[in-house]
Amino acid sequence: MRKTRPSGSTQQHNPAASVYGGHRFSLIAELGAAAALLIVALIAVNGWHVWHTYHLALERSRANTQNLTQALSQHASDTFAQAESTLQELAGQISQSGMGNDQLPRLQRIFLEKTQALAQINAISLFDATGRMIVTAANRLPVSTDYSDREYFQYHRDHPQLTVHIGKVIRSRISNDLVLPISRRLNHPDGSFAGVLLESVMINHFRNFYTKFEIDDDSTLMMLLNNGTILYRQPYNEKAIGTTIAGSDLYKENIRQNHAGIVTSSLAADQRQNVYSFTHLKDFPVIITTGLSLDRSLLDWRRDAISQGVITLIFVTLIALTGLLLIRQVRARMHIELELIRTQQELRKLNRSLEKLARSDGLTGLYNRRHFDLTLAHEFNRSLQQHQDLGLILLDVDYFKQFNDLYGHVAGDECLKLIGKTLRELPLRARDLVARYGGEEFIVLLPDTNLAGTLAVAQRIVREVEQLRVPHQGSPTDILTLSIGIFVGVPRADRDTPSKLIVKADAALYQAKHQGRNQICVAG
């Protein structure tokens, strides 16, 4: 059985702690978390949008580059295929008629007709086995007819193949224009070298086509030989024609190793990154590469990204300011609520104090008679409903009037306080109750307790008071003693009331006094 305290030692409940304690999320933290989550979500969504549109812009740039490369490669293939067809046709005619002096006027007319029919051709020329020009589309031969120093002539002289050869861009000794030499070897019937048939394609033919595509200065359209030598470049730069990109990463790591592809690279370490698309022509040793400026390709995306960033920043700022404003308002409101709660706590404390005063005995600290009567009524009803025993112990201090006469009322009050302390320290149960009933009388309520249990409590009270050894010369025992009356039983609704139970206990107490005091009597 656990001890009880008359005034009730219940744990204090702090409403402020339940509202603002660490075991719950505060409203401020929730608002801050919501604002932060909204900001993170907004940044994430816009970040994903910027990332997605970046890749879309890059893919568009790659697609545009690839389409441009296909258009240029188709143009180059058509030009070279036409040149190859023309050279094959003329080679067949020369093979049939020969290269004698009597055939030269006829060949000159044929060359002129072909040149006039094809706008891209600067000239068609025929060279003998020594490299001497023997016929050309022009009306007359140049002053110097020795072309044995030309790369195309030396190539065919040293290579027996009858395939078309595309050489480096050269300047025509007849028109002084830049031309692309496309040539074919001619053989005698015995297979020995007979000469070279040359078709000179004007560089302006490519220039006129390439300028149809609008590109910025950082972009590049190029036609290369397989070894990286530049045949044409747009934006047009005559000095770049004939140079090579074989040393660049674009060529070494991509063009040389792959037939076609799309990469992001640069021609030199100090140049900006471009999106390059390249392809090797299927039937000719020529490469077409297109490099569109990455900055230009991403210009619209960059503008959109900046706009998105500004809009996101504005919304983040608005959310942050709104969150801060709400947090400030919530803090102010919570401060007011906290003050209200503190005020309510003070009022509750005051109410508890008043309630304690209302149900407690000021002298002994035990419950007073009013509180006892209310509790007895409650336990009486419960006992009726559950048919349980109800025990009452009514005790009175023996010869207390004599004690006051001998030692004074102050000593009498101290005596009552001591008895009250003794009763408070009894190991009673939670529903058990000890109260000062009036004057020197005390009463103990023991719900659901049989006669043996009630007697045990009464006997302990007697022993505890005797052990105090309070001197009392007005008593036969010379110490302070108690007389106790007990009632134990199950109340009956037809004849019992709470007050009648007390009357029965009081009758037992009167019997104990009548029989000489310092004893316990049980109501019959």
Dihedral, 427, 429, 430, 436 alpha carbons, nearest 10: -70
Question: What does the pLDDT read at residue 521?
Answer: 95
**Nearest CA among 507, 502, 389, 380 for reference residue 451:** 389
Angle at 8 between CA 5 and CA 12, to 5 degrees: 130
Backbone angles phi, psi at 443, to 5 degrees: -140, 145
Say which DSSP state 224 is in.
E
pTM score above 0.85 = no
Question: What does the pLDDT read at residue 414?
Answer: 94
Spatial neighbors of 27 by CB under 8 A, at least 6 apart, are 330, 334
Spatial neighbors of 334 by CB under 8 A, at least 6 apart, are 20, 27, 28
106 is written with which tokens?
A: 């006829």
**How is the chain split into domains, by residue range?**
305-356, 369-522
Three-class DSSP category at 300: helix
Say which DSSP state 384 is in.
H
Question: What does the pLDDT read at residue 70?
Answer: 93
> Helices in 360-450 by DSSP H: which ranges?
369-386, 400-407, 409-424
275-278 LR contacts (CB < 8 Å, sep 24+): 275/58, 275/61, 275/62, 275/65, 276/65, 276/250, 277/62, 277/65, 277/66, 277/68, 277/69, 278/69, 278/254
Spatial neighbors of 319 by CB under 8 A, at least 6 apart, are 35, 38, 39, 42
Three-class DSSP category at 107: helix
Dihedral, 300, 302, 303, 307 alpha carbons, nearest 10: 140
Angle at 263 between CA 260 and CA 265, to 5 degrees: 130
Active-site residue, from 440, 441, 464, 466: 440
Question: What does the pLDDT read at residue 269?
Answer: 63
Spatial neighbors of 109 by CB under 8 A, at least 6 apart, are none
Cite the beta strand spans of 398-515 per DSSP E: 433-438, 441-447, 482-489
Please state, in angstroms and rounded to a whole number, the distance separating the CA atoms of residues 247 and 270.
14
b or e along 471-509 (b: 16 or more beta carbons within 10 Å of the residue's beta carbon)?
A: ebebbeeebbbbbbbbbbbebeeeebebeebbebbbbbb
* Cα–Cα separations (whole angstroms), residue 435 to 441, 444, 445: 9, 6, 8
Active site residue 379: no
Contact (Cβ atoms closer than 8 angstroms) between residue 210 and residue 234: yes
Please state, in angstroms and rounded to a whole number, the distance separating the CA atoms of residues 515 and 398.
12
Packing angle of the helix pair 104-117, 27-97 (nearest 10 deg):
160
230 is written with which tokens?
A: 């530049």
Q: What is the 3-state secondary structure (H, E, C) of 188-214?
A: CCCCCEEEEEEEEEEHHHHHHHHCCCC
Topology annotation, domain 369-522: Alpha-Beta Plaits (3.30.70)
Identify the burial level of 156 via C-beta atoms within 10 angstroms of its C-beta, where 0-12 means exposed, 13-18 middle and 19 or more buried: buried
Question: What does the pLDDT read at residue 14?
Answer: 52
Say which DSSP state 238 is in.
G
Q: Is the dihedral of CA 202, 203, 204, 207 positive or negative?
A: positive
pLDDT tens series, the chain, 524 aa: 333 444 333 444 554 444 444 444 577 777 778 888 888 888 888 889 888 888 888 888 888 888 999 999 999 999 999 999 999 999 999 888 888 888 888 988 998 888 888 888 888 999 999 999 999 987 788 888 899 999 999 999 999 999 999 999 999 888 889 999 999 999 998 889 999 999 999 999 999 998 988 888 778 899 999 999 999 998 888 898 999 999 888 898 899 899 999 988 877 765 677 888 999 999 899 999 998 887 777 777 888 888 888 888 898 888 888 888 887 887 788 788 788 888 888 888 877 766 776 788 889 989 999 999 999 999 999 999 999 999 999 999 999 999 999 999 999 999 999 999 999 999 999 999 999 998 899 999 999 999 999 999 999 999 999 999 999 999 999 999 999 999 999 999 889 999 999 999 999 999 999 999 999 999 97
Dihedral, 422, 427, 433, 436 alpha carbons, nearest 10: 0
